[in-house]
Structure 1
Amino acid sequence: MDEEGNSRGRRFNPTTILQQFLSPPNNSSTPMNRFSFILSRASTTSRRIMREPSSLLQDTSSTVQSDDHQNDWAYSKPVIVVDVLWNLAFVLVSLILLLSTLKERPSTPLRFWIAGYAIQCLLHVGFVYLEHRRRNLDGGAASGGENEQHLLYDETSQSRGTSIAKRLESINTMVSFFWWVIGFYWIVVGGQALLQDAPRLYWLAVVFLAFDVFFAIFCVVLACVIAIALCCCLPCIIMMLYAVVAREGASEGDISVLPRYKFRSRVSDMDWKQDAAVMEMESGDDSISEISLLPEDSECCICLTKYIDGVELVRLPCSHHFHCGCISKWLRINAKCPLCKYNLHGDNDELV
């Protein structure tokens, strides 16, 4: 029992840990150095605690999710079905012709090239299936109620598997390119002799090479068409967005009907009163409509400058006033009051 107690004491001793945490280095003997050392240790420990599996999980999952969102369209069910059926058709045709042309003796190893082409198609189908299966497993794991630690290990293993699969797919793509060059070289070298000795193998290889060239040209042309369409349609899109934004602003008619005033400062006769100011209504008749202003309210909240004598002001229906030029520019962009969000269009459900 004593030995067990001693062993437990050696395993976990809060006093020893606290002393190690609070003990400064040898060169920090002053109280200020000791205090700064304790703060640095505490901040380091807190950062270490905060960067536990949750942050690692978020970083890993965000990286995987960004890649997945970028490639979702390429792994949708219609694209996968067409891709798999197309490659399996190549494999089936290659197998049938290889078995039916055993008596043909080509001058170049076309039979070997066609077999390699079929194997590459099978590998591509396998990579597509594995990626589709991984995505389905990711969706099931995200919908299930797994704990954070288990999800961390799952995401880490899946990211490793994804990186390996992508590397293998990239290697297969590079090999396919060089394999196409080799097949084209053997077709050119064989010439008419190859067409006479193994006509079916010759035309099968030519069809495979032609399909690859067709798809390469199709992808390049499609990319160019999309780029040209974006360049041509971008001004139209900008105009549409500008029109949508313009709808949020007020029209010139709405701005012109707003009451306009002239600012005039007024000094009080009594010394114990502060200076005051008024806004005089601009009208064609002799009647004058005045609105008194406090000194702290005698400034425009848009340009943050105080009113001066004779400046033209505009008063909104919400009783807030601004410089005429400032509020006119504001209302053309946004029909809401800068202070209380009063909408000149009448939609005032959310007022501050």
Structure 2
Amino acid sequence: MSTRYSTQLQSSAITSITVSSSSSLDSTTRDDNRHIDSDFNTRDSSPSSFLMRLAMRVSRARWFIFLRRVFHYQNGSRSDLGTNPFDSVTWMVSELVALLLQITVITTTLALSKNERPIWPVRLWITGYNVGCLLNLMLLYGRYRQQSQGNGFSFGDIEQQQRSREETRCSHLMNRCRTSLELFFAIWFVVGNVWVFDSRFGSFHYAPNLHVLCISLLAWNALCYSFPFLLFLLLCCVVPLISSFLGYNMNIGSSDKGASDDQISSLPSWKYKLIDETSGSDSAQATDDPECCICLAKYKDKEEVRKLPCSHRFHLKCVDQWLRIISSCPLCKQDLPN
């Protein structure tokens, strides 16, 4: 009887110890979960999240998408160049504004500096540059007219063939004119650099307005000639460094591929629950996907999970970041509904 009584006391003590330990473990896990939630909240409000949102906005901006199109058109394969981005209406309007601004500034400066007497023929160089801008303006008008005629109505077969022949002739002629103009501006740029930066032709004190105008035009041409190199540095050096630092590929993100916040929030989500195998059929729904294929980590209890229309499940934070870059499932590549 005494041995039975002592064993009962020992078993009751063990059960009390296990209950107390389990309660203490529950309290510690709750505290840990609170600390983890607070850490996640602080991470969301950290400067890295702000930089991530800024990088997403930059990668989806129209000017960044246009720069990537230009880089792909200049350096891509000949079989997949696509449409010429320099023939778009936005680029033509920007070219028109730049040409009109240069012609206006040159004409005004030449009219106001009649009394200046430079040593080297700076007036001749500026006049030649102004004539080149006028010819480039006429070429721009021809490009715009050709582009508008290409988007016109369809004609018959014979008329269509004649029209295509005329368009090919006009395109060849415009390409030759553009090549000759580029060659003229390149030679004129070299001549202007020799005359401006040679000490024997120093004429700043005799013609300050013309000298400043010439230096400004040379700087503008130097920026235009270095545009491909600057674009290469931006997309092949700066952007990959930022992408590796933030963990977000800016070259992939675009307004066409990423999903909006409203589309992401409309998808169903819940907190994951670990259910025993002996329970009912609801356990099958919770244990279909034992791990997230994005981060390759198993689901834990009370973790937020999001379900896509293709019935694939992922961590909420993982799939939200994925959908902001590409609006399709990481497994089956099914697109999200609009």
Q: TM-score, normalised by structure 1?
A: 0.45
Q: Decide which structure has the larger Cα Rg and report it.
A: 1
Q: TM-score, normalised by structure 2?
A: 0.46
- Compare relative contact order (CA 8 Å, sep 6+) and give the higher one, 1 or 2: 2
